Structure 1
Amino acid sequence: MTATDPTPSSTVLANVQEYYGKILSSTKDLKTSACCTSAAPHPLIRAALKKVPAEVTDRYYGCGNPIPLGIEGLTVLDLGCGTGRDVYIAAGLVGEKGEVIGVDMTDEQLKVARDALPAFAKQFTYTPRVKFAKAYIENLDAIVPANSIDLCISNCVINLSPDKEAVLRGVYNALKEGGEMYFSDVYCDRRMPEALVGDKILYGECLSGALYINDFVRLCHKVGFTDPRALSSAPIELRDPAIAELCGNIKFYSITYRLFKLPSLETLCEDYGQVATYLGTIPGHTHAYELDDHHTFVTGKPVLVCGNSADMVGRTWLGKHFKVDGDRSVHFGAFDCAPVPGGSSSSPAAGGCC
């Protein structure tokens, strides 16, 4: 498949292709921690990772762990899949009835991903449903049918796009109603100066293309993701002195966000007297489930939630793992946005109605 240029920013895309296809030969070549995962993945993710061929993991440039557990049977789309590390992890989790599609624009990385498929597949008693497509993530409509995806993941890629609105809009269109975009990326605490945006190394290191957090939230609202929820956040270390000097006081973060395609979501938390109870049925989350950085549901314990949270756990792929009591027939006013006990609201990430 030939990737067609969807934007006038072809120079930016060409620079990214060169950086990840020809300049970087392994993770060791990176100059910052922006494209390095800081937190240890869940044991079930680590177990799935053991089945991923070494030639794939050697060229991994992600910044988080954007693969939720409990996704058996889902159709998953990975944006900017690179050599396919997260595609292969997800393929191990979705099982025989699920499917994973990896999209990338870089020939060198896609070759590694496709060449690894036979070695990966022979570890299973069934044939994993995995495929890779060459395309620009700004042009998803050309390769992914509307309303066909249950879960979209992405790992430190959208910051590299010159048209982030087109990416998010394409994801929104591709997702089924109740589907989710669950992804990690690089964000900053202010708008990037234009002089830095044009720096090829800073862009390739996932820094100068990073979105200011509040602008990202505004963009989510514009395309239909009304209530973006931050799950986790970690500061990014600028290890190269020259890069640190260029960036000055700008602070960068790796943040994992959850965006649900639910037309019912509101921009602010509203109280309808609804109660959600986690059933403890998601593999790896027997005792509790963390919806975001300030909602942790203890198994079997009813929790009063806003209308948005009720729909996120009750009307999405998470629905079979939760019991939600009540509806939106009676409105009791604004919902008290204090964090649910057990959650954490220390993240710098904006967004989330509560």
Structure 2
Amino acid sequence: MASAAPPKVPGTALLELMQGQQLGSDQQGVKDSVKQYYTDLTSSKDLLTSACTTCKAPSPDVRAMLKDVPAEIVDRYYGCGTPLPMGITGLRVLDLGCGTGRDCYVAARMVGPNGFVTGVDMTPDQLAVARQYMEQYNTQVLGYPKPNMRFVQGHIEKLDGVEDGSQDLIISNCVINLSPDKAAVLSEAWRVLAPGGEVYFSDIYCDRRLPAEVRTHPVLLGECLGGALYTNDFLRLARQTGFMDPRSLESEEVIITDPALKDLVGNARFYSTTYRLFKLPGRLEDLCEEYGQVAVYKGTLPGHKHGYALDDHHFFVTNKPMLVCGNTAAMVEETWLAPHFQVVGDRSVHYGAFDCGPSPAASGAPAASKASAAGGCC
């Protein structure tokens, strides 16, 4: 009797990710399967799980903006979160796997006429819908002199035509799990982001590594479950790429109602999580360190008058000083968030390790849906 294959150790799993082998060796076959799955869908009602539907309602501001987005675009929306941060006026935004463009349309309003939004997707049918309403929406609904968004057919693993350092913010909504080469996606995101830029995205994650028969199942793959990364493997991959301190913002469990699919995944649990990855070369450390820095949120971000959640364990009460680690200080002082924060102190004196515990996502547990209001960092 042949012996069972030995279980994969973390290094092996990471190597598999780095080589683009998580979903098997036929990357084009995976892309073709995903493309066909989403071409055949006519609305979110055709989905068999809640994975590709937003688990938590968007903020009131975003809900108001969605009312002006054409109905066909909203009906063919398959995201799992709302990766649309407030206060991004004037930024250059890139949407990875934009589909019919729902988030692009909202982002176009948020960045204003001086910002710009680029949506990339590999599915021609969905891009046709996105482009159909673009000019009318920009000029008649938003009143801009010309469109401030464009839609490009392409692959998120190789962002041809997007220049190095040309984007301030990358968003993505339940798409990266569908990619057969997630390492390439994160590498390209790092390349096209400007220093101080951010990847702010929602995706599906799992509480364990999935067996090959689940990862390659065409329906589970299309429903955003088969390609879901084990949370800790995602964190390892992000750090390997250069995003040294991934921060989870919020998380909701995905509900699987189809009996056959539920049986296939067994005891595995899936979560829709929104992550923030900051490109701050040389400024983020792998552990939290204390430099005596204090951060104060000014209360100036739209929709966040009384406080701001940087992630699931940092809630800044407006005008209240908060002791933070060096990483958090860099995130609020050296990125697009800088106008909304004041940081006192620098890194000239090191006081040792910052007294903190791991976030829920960092420990592999589901992130809290609300940030802690504690006065400490991390």
Query: TM-score by structure 1 length?
Result: 0.93
Distance in 1 separating the partners of 2:168 and 2:26: 31
Alignment-derived partner of residue 328 in structure 1: 347
The residue that corresponds to 2:102 in the other structure is 85
> Where do 1:66-215 residues align within 5 Å?
66-121=83-138, 122-126=140-144, 127-140=146-159, 142-215=160-233
Q: How much does 1:268 deviate? A: 0.4
Taking the TM superposition and a 5 Å limit, the aligned residue runs for 1:44-63 are: 44-63=61-80
Q: Structure 1 residue 339: deviation in Å?
A: 8.7
Aligned match of 1:4: none
Q: 1:349 to 1:218 in 2, by over 3 A?
A: farther
Structure 1: gaps (5+ residues): 1-6
Structure 1 position 347, deviation (Å) = 5.6
Matched residue type, 1:114: R
Q: Is the counterpart of residue 17 in structure 1 residue 35 in structure 2?
A: yes
Q: Cα 1:280–1:246, aligned 2, differ >3 Å: closer, same or farther?
A: same
RMSD: 1.7
Q: Is 1:279 matched with 2:298? A: yes
Question: Counterpart of 1:132 in 2: which secondary structure?
Answer: strand
Asked whether the 8 Å contact 1:213–1:349 carries over to 2, the reply is no
Of 261, 267, 283, 1:243 maps to 261
Residue ranges of structure 2 left out of the alignment (5+ in a row): 1-24, 369-376
CA distance in 1, matches of 2:71, 2:45: 14
Aligned to 2:18: none
Structure 1 runs (4+) greater than 3 angstroms displaced: none
Mapped to 2, the partners of 1:117 and 1:94 lie a distance apart of 15
Equivalent AA in structure 2 for residue 88 of structure 1: Y
Of 97-106 and 8-17, the range deviating more from structure 2: 8-17
Contact 1:232 1:347 in 2 (8 A): no
**Contact persistence 2:124–2:153 (CA under 8 A):** yes
Q: CA deviation at 1:348?
A: 1.8
* Partners of 2:270 and 2:357 in 1: CA distance: 26
Distance 2:38 2:358 in 1: 40
Give the aligned residue type for 2:221. Answer: Y
User: Please, which moves more after superposition, 275-284 or 115-124?
Assistant: 115-124
**Shift in Å, 1:197:** 1.4
Question: Secondary structure of the equivalent of 1:176?
Answer: strand
Does residue 302 of structure 1 match 2:321? yes
SS at 1:335's partner residue?
coil
Q: Give how far 1:116 is off.
A: 1.6
Q: CA deviation at 1:118?
A: 2.9
Contact 1:63 1:184 in 2 (8 A): yes
Structure 2 SS opposite 1:201 = helix
1:36 counterpart letter in structure 2: T
Displacement of 1:278 in angstroms is: 0.2
- Measured against aligned partners, the alpha-carbon deviations of 1:296-336 in whole angstroms (never above 9, x if no partner) come to 00000000000000000000000010000000000000001
Task: Indicate the SS of the match to 1:56.
Answer: helix
Question: How many Å separate the matches in 1 of 2:365 and 2:310?
Answer: 14
SS at match of 1:266: coil
Is 2:50 the partner of 1:43? no
Residue 155 of structure 1 contacts residue 184 of structure 1 at CA under 8 Å; is this kept in 2?
A: yes
SS in 2 for 1:82: coil
For the Cα contact (< 8 Å) 2:312–2:367, is it kept in 1? Answer: no
Query: For the residues of structure 1 that align with 2:157 and 2:357, how far apart are their CA atoms?
Result: 37
Change (3 A) 1:193 1:137: same
Deviation per residue, 1:25-63 (Å, 9 max, x gap): 100000000001011111111121111100100100000
> Which SS does the other structure have where 2:330 is aligned?
helix
Q: Does the CA-based 8 Å contact 2:168-2:197 persist in structure 1? A: yes
**Rounded Cα–Cα distance in structure 2 between residues aligned with 1:137 and 1:306:** 33
Question: CA contact under 8 A between 1:152 and 1:180: conserved in structure 2?
Answer: yes
Q: Percent identity?
A: 60
Q: Secondary structure at the match of 1:13?
A: helix
AA paired with 1:330? Answer: V
- Give the conservation status (yes or no) of the 8 Å contact 1:96–1:129: yes
> Contact 1:72/1:93 (CA < 8 Å) preserved in 2?
yes
* Alpha-carbon separation, structure 1, partners of 2:319 and 2:162: 38
1:217-239 deviation line (CA, Å, top 9, x unaligned) = 00001110000000000000001
**1:337 matched to 2:350:** no
Contact 1:150-1:176 within 8 A present in 2 as well: yes
Letter matched to residue 220 of structure 1 = A
Q: Is contact 1:53-1:119 (8 Å) kept? A: no
Q: Distance in 2 between matches of 1:124 and 1:347?
A: 41
